[in-house]
Structure 1
């Protein structure tokens, strides 16, 4: 099937030691993909922010997680220098003649960092945190994006963020050859810009503001915690909280996104890695 003995995946953990469901989500997807597709695949986790662990460029695929805090305040931190050093190495490799390219998927905090790196828009703190299972709307480019193939418009995903990237820098997108693939839901009653939710940075790099690795199990474990329930009810009301619980049982919503988006990315990456 392939000349490669194993597909090597690096999981870049940007959670800085806080409890999360994201890394488990990545691991579950990789394990399921490995079993269903009969692919020889192994992964290694790197604690980027807490332990300043950053892998080398010798992995095939990189999954870069969400995480807490401001995507602006870490500028100049040692871990971030090493993190962007890796990204620069991978970009350089991908512009070389080497047929085996390096694929990266950036989620939430990682997505915001990459938007800052490429100057793709305005990064600011939201008036209030966004948390829930929310509709994500495809752009015209997103309707033709293979990574989003099989997802409705809108589709549903976990949105959990205090920060956002707004006001797309259209010139920068054009100059760098990048595409905005998805934006947040329309809110006609609120005069606020819609945040960018998914971007294709290159043929090999893609990122989402939302969490395509999230599943009903992880979301339920968060929603039943008293502090999280209070946060959601205070912000959105009890009806919205109960609606979130109902959405967890809808197979066409959150579970479908987890079963579709990152597996599409793996299909693309692994399929190309095996063509030598």
Structure 2
């Protein structure tokens, strides 16, 4: 990434937090601002409140980043916002299947990951026995060996996981028929007999998705954890040891910080370079 593309780079951030306070959207914007400055790009972005205000972008953006969000990823089926959301995805897919040289790139995180897995019928979506919360190891599959978004990522790498829902039991026939790749799964839990959730999927050459939060940054997580209400919530649900462990993990540059500085920039490299080649 050294050259500036001939045309402006337009990014749509799809906010699926339904009006709930969160640090994710600001984290996406911070990563984009840093990337723009580092590479001298003519890059702009716009945020769309998909669930609360039913705001969905058109197809005139180059890159689409769809966030996490609260709640059941199944109960929104048939809602107005979801119809418009999947309508956009269908248009982007049709565009990418056409002969046009300029493709549309998409990154789908957490709640968006679950919605897309439901759309493609890639596995079973259900509520976990207990919430997954913390800085946790994510294990790459054999299919990830040449994945550009995982370049310079360890195996396992560490990421923020925060979810009540999961996608399990990969539908291998669907993966094969649709040409999709399961790239990462959650940590092994030998003490319980539960399937390991899917954690990252490449839907196509242009669509990439993670169950975890690659946008998470240390500052936002620490600020959240140090709030007394959040501390009590974490301690109540996961214990004081887990709370202290999370705070300690934030000081490790090879965990959250490395993921934050590496994964989404890798995704942007792939998307922006494709624009330069036109």
**Superposition TM-score, scaled by structure 2 size:** 0.97
Give 1:254's aligned residue: 256
Q: 2:86 aligns with which of 76, 84, 93?
A: 84
1:114: which partner in 2?
116
Distance 1:191 1:101 in 2: 42
Question: 1:53-95: per-residue Cα shift (whole Å, max 9, x none)?
Answer: 0000010000000001000000000000000000000000000
Query: Could you tell me which residue of structure 1 aligns to residue 277 of structure 2?
Result: 275
Gaps of 5+ in 2: none
How far the C-alpha of 1:222 sits from its partner, in A, is: 1.7
Q: Alpha-carbon deviation of 1:272?
A: 0.6
Map of 1:245 onto structure 2: 247
Asked whether 1:157 is paired with 2:164, we answer: no
- Aligned equivalent of 1:99: 101
1:172-183 maps to which residues of 2 (within 5 A)?
Answer: 172-183=174-185
Listed one character per residue, the Cα deviations across residues 192-222 of structure 1 (whole Å, up to 9, x for unaligned) are 1100000000000000000000000111122
Secondary structure of the structure 2 residue equivalent to 1:144: coil
User: Equivalent residue of 2:14, what SS?
Assistant: strand
Instruction: Tell me the number of residue pairs that the alignment of Structure 1 and Structure 2 aligns.
Output: 276
Q: Determine the structure 2 residue equivalent to 1:61.
A: 63
CA offsets 1:160-204 (integer angstroms, 9 cap, x no match): 101000000001000000000000000000111100000000000
Deviations 1:233-257 (A, max 9, x none): 2333222211110111111110110
Distance 1:81 1:216 in 2: 35
Distance across 2 between alignment mates of 1:29 and 1:202: 23
State the Cα RMSD in Å: 1.0
CA contact 2:64–2:106 (8 Å) conserved in 1: yes
Deviations 1:16-66 (A, max 9, x none): 000001101100000000011111100000000010000000100000000
The alpha carbon displacement at 1:144 in A equals: 2.2
Alignment pair present for 1:263 and 2:269: no
Q: Which of 123, 126, 139 is the equivalent residue of 2:125?
A: 123
Q: Which residue of 2 aligns with 1:44?
A: 46
1:2 deviates by 5.4
Q: Name the TM-score, length of structure 1 as normaliser.
A: 0.98
SS of the residue 1:50 aligns to: coil
SS in structure 2 of the partner of residue 33 of structure 1 = helix
Distance 1:19 1:84 in 2: 24
In structure 1, the partner of 2:231 is: 229
- Unaligned regions of 5+ residues in structure 1, if any? none
CA contact (8 A) 2:24 2:215 kept: yes
Contact preservation (8 Å) 2:18, 2:52: yes
Distance 2:234 2:184 in 1: 24
Question: Take 1:3 and 1:189, find their aligned partners in 2: how far apart are those partners?
Answer: 51
